[in-house]
Chains A and B, each alone.
Chain A
Amino acid sequence: MNCEVCQLKELEVEHFEIREVLRCILHTIVFHRALGLVRPKVIDLELFDITYVQCGDGELEKKIDEKIEQFISWVEKHPNKKSQVCISFYEVKNKHPSWFTNKTERLYWEQWYINLNVSQQQKVHSGKSHPSKIVVDPGENSLEERSNRRAALESSLREVLFQIIKFVNEKKDHVPPISDGVVYFPYEITIPSSSDSAFGMDMIKRMLQTGHPTMLS
């Protein structure tokens, strides 16, 4: 099975915008991969004039929020860095238990990379920036820049959503069959780890788990 990878358009976000942007994108992706019985829940973003759709699953919402908080914590420790949030869909396959391995295998069949360029305001006095706080630099230029940047981000976010729609409609054959009683496919949200090189290690680890042909050979 191929693992379809979708690299979404990079978004330049400010710290306080991370939560909404990630919620929007992650829920949209999961909604398109929740092929069980779903009662859609329409959510209007607060910071942008965009409406997205959730599965309406409280458990799912909670898990996604936890991951987002972890990512925000990482961003606070690693400011002004490009980062990725990866959501992967996999199938669980039981490996033949052997004496040295009894793990279940995850077969990732789809991965989505959300590329974020988190920019933090230089005017932030404290070392940590609060997501809910916006340090407004008095001055028309900064306000105008901020509004322009906000409009650009909204447009980019809309493009990302269209990108998701296009991807899910173009690539359907790799989607596994839907199991009865299962609402959405197992998924995994991966955020950059603390160490700088950890992201690369995560990739290697994932590749081992998916059994990439190049690795197996």
Chain B
Amino acid sequence: MDLHGMAPHSESGKLEQVVSQFLLKSLHIILDSRIPSLHPRDPTCDSRVRKSDKWFNLVLGDRPAALDNLNFWHRNLMDPMIIDIILVQQGTAISTSVGNLLSGSPGRTATETVIERWLVQFESPPRGTASQPSEGSAASYKKTYKKSIIFLRSLYLQTRLLPAYRIFKQLSSSSQPFNFDIIYKVSSFSEPFSRVEEEMMKEYRFVPIEALPGRLHVSVTYRPQLSEFNLQPLTTMPPKIISDYVGSPATDPLRYFPSSYKGDRAISFPSKVMHSPTSVPFQRPHSWTSGFHKPVVNHHLAGSPTVYRTSQMSYDSPSPPMERMQNHRRPLHQRAPFYDECQLSPPFSPSVSPSTPTYLRNSESPRQTRAISETAPVTIPSPISGRSSRYISPNFSDPSKLSLPPLSPRSTRLDNSSNESPSGMRLIKKPEASRADLGSAGQKVLKDNKDDSGRFSGLLSSSDSPRVGFSRSSSKLSFQDDIDDCDFSCPFDVDDVDPPDSRISQNVDWKRNLESTSMGRKSQDAAVGVLVHMLRTAPPLRQDSSCYSSRSLRAEVENDGVATTASGFFMPRRTSDALEELRSYREMKDLLLSKSGTRVLTREPP
């Protein structure tokens, strides 16, 4: 047995040293197993044996700083050393520093509960008792030392068997914050427990250690049950289901859209979303999760999809996969989508590139886009093109009428935005040819639609760039309209068929009043042109327009307006031609009759 650093002079001095070191070692053992901040993270990495470790042959590692100051307050070895292990629970917020806890900062309700109280005391006999012989003293401190070694072994184990060790393990083993903390208080006096507290606590007293002339007493009063305290990991945000976290184009996944858009066009994104739910929606988790992870800091449910972004499912309302992923968020999909789409538009800002909101505004254009991305936009453009090519040319002499032909080329261009580029090209050619007949009016219209034409030219250059067809100088306005139409149903919904019909009827009325309307409605020209073509090709419209034709003939004479002239394109021509023919026949007949009449008169038999 080797007592290091002991004063060689008096046995009592040696005993005093043993007692002093016993107190320090006891405090070290207790704090090492109760206060996570004092506990070394990786004690195994520290293999050196300190001088303090050699005391009582128990290697504990670095002593806490509090132990260094022990001698300052514990000047008398006879004073008890009381170690309070205090459980601090935060009602509102957790504090990471003891100072904040003890300061009682406003707004924080900290509950402190003493869960353990250790009492280590060296009891010496009252003065006046016979002093021990030196041999006995010499042997006594050695015996005391040996017994202290055994005791401190048992203390080391005892601290790990008590309930407080469990919560210490919780704090020290986990990196996440908890709603509680453990602090300690070392003093030579303490307030006694209340009766209620005493009833809730148990006491364990160690067998006193002979430290002649006195004895070392160690006892612990502890709470046998800590389950009454709601000790759990702290989450800055209570776990809740964020019903609209996935699918919002306005949130982080937006960043990843550009990458997914490389090589894709703006319009193609919604089309992909809408029509290829297997593509983009499946891509989204891969691209978004990292995006999800990045911005969200305050949620410990990292990795949980429920944590992340709001309204990210905006495009996913028609998309089953995303719905499967976030089916509890469906309700919010309905409202969000198009507003989010509008918000998404900056990457596809109307001024920069064709934007989704642009075509969203137009009931036709969604259909167009739908047709573009999904199926061949066959039905609408082809018949119109077929018809328009016939009827465009004759009536371009009238400037008001000329307004219509330009529509058709535009509409043909829009139609050209479909995947059927060859037909579109053909359509373009013919309107161009017809445009030549338009004269200045057509040129004017074309000039008015300069931006559009610019884009149309872009469209023409790349036949499969549907987005261009829908980007106009007035697209900004359309963007605003899109915002207004946020509640509009999905442009790719089947129900959108109805609105175009309604719009067609509206356009018919518009055509009738075209003279009163400003020709500067460039943004509607294309749509009107398309409607016109639809009107032309629709059998019922033809029948109806036959009624109009009679009126239009009169209106034509009266310069009634382009609408009437437009309607007069079809039937009036036929009837007019027929009438002309009839007149010509009549004239001929009259002529013939007149001629034949004389002859008849002459030819009459005698």
Interface residues of A (CB under 8 A from B): 28, 31-32, 34-40, 42, 44, 49-53, 158, 161-162, 165-166, 168-170, 172, 175, 177-178, 180
Contacts and interface: CB of A to CB of B under 8 A. Distances in A.
Contact of B157 (A31, A49, A175): A31
Interface string B119-162: 00000000000000000000000000011011101101110110
Interface stretch (B53-61, B74-82, B535-543): B53-61
Interface string B91-107: 00000000000000000
Nearest to B59: A39
A32 B58 CA distance: 11
B546 to A, nearest CB: 83
12 contacts: A31-B157, A32-B153, A35-B57, A35-B146, A39-B59, A51-B165, A52-B157, A53-B156, A158-B161, A177-B146, A178-B1, A180-B2
A28 B153 CA distance: 10
Q: Which of A34, A39, A50 has the most CB atoms of chain B within a 10 A radius of its CB?
A: A39
Contacts of B1: 177-178, 180
Contacts of A166: 207
Interface of B: 1-2, 49, 53-54, 57-60, 146-147, 149-151, 153-154, 156-158, 160-161, 165-166, 169, 206-207
B158 A165 contact: yes
Contacts of B60: 40
* Chain A binding surface SS class: mixed
A158 B57 CA distance: 26
B322 to A, nearest CB: 40
A169 B54 CA distance: 21
B147 A172 contact: yes
Given A53-B153, A165-B157, 9 more contacts: A31-B157, A32-B150, A32-B153, A34-B153, A36-B57, A37-B59, A161-B161, A177-B146, A178-B57
B157 A172 contact: no
A175 B146 contact: yes
Contacts of B207: 166, 169-170
Contact of B54 (A32, A37, A158): A37
Contacts of B153: 31-32, 34-35, 38, 53, 168
The 7 tightest CB contacts between A and B, nearest first, are A169-B207, A39-B59, A165-B154, A51-B160, A37-B57, A172-B147, A32-B153
Contacts of B58: 38, 40
A170 B208 CA distance: 9
A164 B166 CA distance: 21
Contacts of A162: 161
Contact of A40 (B59, B161, B166, B169): B59
Contact of B49 (A28, A37, A169): A37
A170 B151 CA distance: 10
Given A38-B59, A169-B207, A178-B1, A53 B157 contact: yes
Nearest to A39: B59
A32 B59 contact: no
A53 B147 contact: no
Contacts of B57: 35-38, 178
Contacts of B49: 37
A172 B152 CA distance: 13
Nearest to A44: B169
B206 A169 contact: yes
Nearest to B58: A38
Contacts of A52: 157, 160
Nearest to B145: A178
A41 to B, nearest CB: 8
Q: Which of A31, A161, A172 has the most CB atoms of chain B within a 10 A radius of its CB?
A: A172
Contacts of A177: 1, 146
Contacts of B166: 49
A178 B156 contact: no
Given A40-B58, A40-B59, A35 B157 contact: no
A175 B154 CA distance: 15
B265 to A, nearest CB: 59
A52 B147 CA distance: 21
Contacts of A28: 157
A180 B1 CA distance: 6
Nearest to B148: A172
A190 to B, nearest CB: 23
Given A37-B49, A51-B165, A169 B150 contact: yes
Contacts of A49: 166
A39 B40 CA distance: 14
A154 to B, nearest CB: 12
B149 A35 contact: yes
A51 B167 CA distance: 13
Contacts of B206: 169
Contacts of A51: 160-161, 165, 169
Contacts of B59: 37-40
Contacts of B146: 35, 172, 175, 177-178
A168 B160 CA distance: 17
A68 to B, nearest CB: 20
A4 to B, nearest CB: 13
Nearest to A43: B160
Contacts of A170: 207
Contacts of A178: 1, 57, 146, 149
Contacts of A172: 146-147, 150
A42 B206 CA distance: 21
A32 B56 CA distance: 12
Contacts of B149: 35, 178
Nearest to A170: B207
B2 A168 contact: no
Given A49-B166, A162-B161, A168 B150 contact: yes
Contacts of B157: 28, 31-32, 52-53, 161, 165
B160 A32 contact: no
A97 to B, nearest CB: 30
Contacts of A168: 150, 153-154
Contacts of B156: 40, 53
Nearest to B33: A42
A197 B367 CA distance: 96
Contacts of B2: 180
